[in-house]
Amino acid sequence: MGERNVGVAMDFSACSKAALRWASTNLARRGDRLVLLHVNTSYQIEHGVVHLWEQGGSPLIPLYEFSDPLIAKRYGVSPDNETLNILAQVANQRQVEVVAKVYWGDPMKKICEGIEKIPLHCLVVGSRGLSKVKRALLGSVSNYVVNHATCPVTVVKESAF
């Protein structure tokens, strides 16, 4: 009957939105908590917020706060309307608690850190479908997470949903 922490790695790209749609439709169920994991790779330290949570990430941010542009800006996040609509829909229709957790640093390592510290029961990540050469040169967050995560990981390609 739910009560799982279902994670979705979110950078607001098309592939991460596909992962969010897939998790919302196929995985989230009543009583679950859907946790959006967002990692800021570059940030300006203009607010004390980053200093407070740079090491362990932000507190869990409820959807109503995450949807507020002023509050989201404090965390260095700019969620778009499409993402917010998907989150509101899953919260209302599936009766899922939606929260966000923001980290600062290397997405590969911070996502794996979030899996353990929240803790997550499963994680959904998007994949841009890089070729083997590009993946070798640029690295792949999804590939790293699949190989280092301590929970099941589902990789969703942008074109899959």
Q: At 138, is the pLDDT very low, low, confident or very high (cuts 50, 70, 90)?
A: very low
Q: At what angle do helices 107-117 and 141-148 cross, to 10 degrees?
A: 40
Q: What is the pLDDT of residue 75?
A: 86
Taking only the tens place, the pLDDT of each residue in 36-63 is 999 988 765 445 556 666 678 999 999 9
The percentage of residues in the chain with a pLDDT greater than 70, rounded to a whole number, is 82
**Full-model pTM:** 0.88
Range of the domain at 112: 5-160
* Structural domain count of the chain: 1
Cα 154 → chain centroid: 13
Which CATH number is 32's domain given?
Answer: 3.40.50.620
- Mean pLDDT of the chain, nearest integer: 86
List of residues 6+ apart from 92 with CB closer than 8 A: none
